[in-house]
Structure formats: structure tokens, C-alpha cells
Amino acid sequence: MKIGYPCINTTLSCTSAKTFRLASYSEERLIKTVSANLDCLEEILEYNRKKDILFFRISSDLIPFASHPVCKAKWENIFRSRFESIGDRIKNYNMRVSMHPDQFVLLNSPRPDVVSNSNAELLYHAKVLNLMKLDGSAKIQIHVGGVYGDKKEASRRFIDKYNAVPEAIKERLVIENDERLYSLSDCMAINYETGIPILLDVFHHSILSDGISFADSLSLSGSTWSDEDGIPIVDYSTQQEGARKGRHTDSIDLHNFTSFLEKSLPFNFDIMLEIKDKEKSAEAAIRVARKDERFQVN
């Protein structure tokens, strides 16, 4: 069991997601921005290593406009050695990383242009992880997408589009259940047709469960992961008090997290904390998890 947080470290003064306006794009500006983003990513990984935070979600903005037609720069060649070096660091530190493209990635859209753009964005994400020479446990997670007035047809469209994506995408892609449209049951039906692993979002499942218990949700989602995929990944958060239903908490509730760990036995998985204060909650969660024999340290 490894514990991590997504994209941004609020303690450090840098960001690995620096970008700029499309109208001001130039190859020189792209190279300068990417170089700064990679510098910060290395800084974040060093910070995480010292805190035993062995799981991290890399920002999709690492390479601004990478999948946009305006981007003609051969950034993968320019930064190849940097990516390999970062990948070596991740492997040497026994870390796991993942990525989560933005919501505009919709493989099941009825619009061909949206599907084409989604494929381009997914190829970019796969390229980043492949340039780091990471194994199949470095995942790219997405939602199934919209229902577009016909959920059954939208699910079938996802299955067809997933089956057609390049192997470079397929070997890394996982789907997660959401809190409104596609439950774990819906994701399991898609897995049955495709074999795609399911990343369980426990907060979403608490809102839209279809009557599946917490223990069964871990068992069912976990069964979709192969050895090549690594151990299952679980997204964890809880409801922010006084906010709209489904809003992630600003800071971890350690009582709830302790209960979550206890109730999750005997299942093993890596935990991505989708919590607003990022590394601060990760460090607090790790203090609790050190008592759990599943938890890994360097």
C-alpha cells in the first residue's frame, strides 16, 4: 500500500503544471515552460521521497498543448533524457505514478472530433509515461463519459472506441466510477466486454453504490486488475461538511480514514487522496497508515 496525492504540492513554491495562453504559443516558450515543469516535478518527487509519499499523480499540464495541432515542437526528443532520468528516479525510489486527463477526454462521445481529440490527448499521456520507461502499473485514469440520452448506447460506444485505441493507450488506461452517471456496476459491465481495469473511487461509490457493499466494491474492482497492472488503485476522499453533495473535503478526517483502513482489510491497494490540501493530508494519512502492515515505506 502506497499513499499519494495529485499534481500540486502546496508546500513547495514551484508548479509542474505551468502553462500559458494558446495565443502566445511559441516553440521557445514551450521549451522554457516544459523545462521548468520538469524541474518542479523532480523537486516534488524529492519532497515525497523524504515523507514516504510513494504515489503521485502527474499533472496533465506537464507539456502544455501537447495534443493540440499548434504544438509542432518535438518535445519528446528535446527532453528524452530528462524523462528517462525522472523515470529512473521514480523506479529507484519505489514510487508509483499515474495521470488523469481532463474531463474533455470522452471516448464515448457521439462526435467524431471529440473522440479524435480524446485519442490524441490519451496518446500524449501514454507518451509521457513511456518516455519515463515505466511499467504497466503507471496508469491513465478516465471517466466513462456522458450518457447522451441513451446510457446503454453510450456504454456500447465506449466499448467500441476503447477496443479501437492503440495498444500504448490500452495497456495504461483504467476507468473509474463516478457519483452521477456510471456506477461500479456500470463499469463492471464495461470491464466484462473489454477487460479494462476499474479504479474504485470510494467517495463516488458512497454516493452511487447500486447497493454494492464497501467490501464487495473492493473485491469486484480489485478482480479487474492483472499482475501487469500492479496492485489496484483506489481514490479516497470524503464529503466536505456544509458543501454541495459530492464536493471533496478540504482536509482529511483522520477518524474516517482510520475506519476506512480497518474496514478495507484484507484487501491491498494504493491510495490516491483526492483532498484539497494535497501533501498535507497525505502526510497525516501516512502517520495513521504506518500502523498498517500493508503500508510501504522506502
Unique residue bearing C-alpha cell 453510450: 154
Q: What 3-state DSSP class applies to 195?
A: coil
pLDDT of 18: 93
**C-alpha grid cell, residue 63:** 507539456
pLDDT of 56: 99
Residues in the chain: 298
Beta strand pairing status for 139-143 and 96-99?
parallel
Nearest-CA neighbor of 42 among 62, 61, 16?
Answer: 16
pLDDT of 230: 98
CA distance 199 to 184: 9
Below-70 pLDDT ranges, the chain: 239
From start to end of 32-102, where are the E strands? 55-58, 96-99
- Within a 10 A sphere around the Cβ of 23, how many other Cβ atoms? 6
Q: Which letter does DSSP use for residue 130 in this model?
A: H
List the Cα angle 282/284/286 in 5-degree steps. Answer: 70
Judge contact between 43 and 77, C-beta under 8 A. Answer: no
Judge contact between 101 and 140, C-beta under 8 A. Answer: yes
Kindly give, in sequence order, each residue whose CB lies less than 8 Å from that of residue 64, ignoring residues fewer than 6 positions away: 18, 19, 20, 30, 33, 34
CA distance 162 to 136: 17
CA distance 229 to 150: 31
- Domains, the chain, in order of start with CATH, read 3-289 (3.20.20.150)
With b for 16 or more beta-carbon neighbours within 10 A and e for fewer, the 135-148 pattern comes to: eebbbbbbbbbbbe
What's the whole-number average pLDDT of the chain?
96
For a pLDDT cut of 70, what percent of the chain falls above it?
Answer: 100
